[in-house]
Chains A and B, each alone.
Chain A
Amino acid sequence: MSDGGGEAAFLLAGGLLFVSVPLLLAMPAALLVHSRRRPWFDRVARAADGRRTACVVAGAGVVLASVVVFGVLWNARPLREIALAWAAAAIATFLVGFSAGAWNQGRRMLRREEGVSCLVLGWLARAGAAAVPFLWPAVAAYLVSAACGAPFVALFSRDGGNSTTEPSPGSSPAR
């Protein structure tokens, strides 16, 4: 067996883990944040819904910065554990943003304002969209960027992510 085949298998398995584990973790993380830190979760959800472009742009910056830091530290072999720690922090940011986006998605789909069912249905829809290989890579990149940017925008926006053109839940189809 050539080294290329072994590395390909390693990277394929690693890639699958990298995609599937955060997506699976997103559900308990969403339930945890939703129940324990509701004001912060609402703020991130408003940012993810009302400031979509800002979230995607900022999230793309976060992803690119993570790629740079991860790549540089990964090549400096003694620092690979730090690279993993950086990846864990990036994934945590992603989890919060993904949970808030799933919450918004579920509210639009169910046309309801509250309820854990919104979270579950939104997670199913978003994780399903991100997990369909045919939709890769653009949809997954969009979802990851938007999710990574939502906490950033919620942190720095003046109005907590509110926008005058934000649609109310149920007023528009799921986007």
Chain B
Amino acid sequence: MTDRTCDAARKALLGGRRDEAHLAACVACTRFAAALSATDSALARDGREAASAPLPPDLRARILRRSGSPDAARPRGRLLEFALRAAAVAAVLVAGWTAVPASLEAAEIAAPEFPIDALGALPVPVGLPRFESLAEAPDVPDDAPWTGISLAAGALLVAGFAFARGGLR
């Protein structure tokens, strides 16, 4: 049996064809064909097992995170998420507005009767305020709705905790 004939038969085996006449006459090529068949069957078995086995959760999460399109993800949840974010920001704005000292409304500056020359006489503090000056700082209004703000803060914290533990982004 010539080497060239064996090479042609082994190339045919690798290509999925069997030269039965050559394999019947050549022991080495018959062994090669058996080894190739065993390798193919082992690969097929591993492929079936890999197809049915679940991915490790962390690897699955990483793959999804890297390949997921954010625009296509959870279209129905986006409106809810936007509403929740807008409500949270609105709560912050309302709470900040109600807790601002009344004197900050500072109508004198914006009012038309305020003389513009008087701007230069405003006592703008230079440097950091002294610690003792805290006693003269204006009060937060006593009539601020602390109960409502407290309840809103509690509700938001509980909701944030639930979202953090749950699946909502």
Contacts and interface: CB of A to CB of B under 8 A. Distances in A.
Chain A complexes with chain B: yes
Interface of A: 1-14, 17, 47, 50-65, 67-68, 70-72, 74-75, 77, 80-81, 84, 137-138, 141-142, 144-145, 149, 152-153, 156-159, 162-168, 171-172
Nearest to B125: A13
Contacts of B21: none
B84 A57 contact: yes
Interface residues of B, number: 62
Contacts of B91: 60, 64
B124 interface: yes
A161 to B, nearest CB: 8
A5 B168 CA distance: 47
B115 to A, nearest CB: 11
A162 B169 CA distance: 9
B155 A61 contact: yes
Contacts of B103: 3-4, 7-8, 11
Nearest to B85: A56
B157 A137 contact: no
23 contacts: A1-B118, A1-B121, A2-B108, A8-B108, A9-B123, A10-B125, A13-B125, A53-B169, A58-B157, A60-B88, A61-B88, A61-B158, A64-B92, A64-B150, A65-B150, A65-B153, A67-B95, A71-B146, A153-B160, A153-B163, A162-B61, A164-B73, A168-B65
B70 interface: yes
A68 B89 contact: no
B31 to A, nearest CB: 49
Q: Is the interface of B mostly helix, strand, loop or mixed?
A: helix
Contacts of A137: 93, 96
A171 B163 CA distance: 25
Interface in B94-127: 95-96, 99, 101, 103-104, 106-109, 118, 121-125
A19 to B, nearest CB: 12
B96 A141 contact: yes
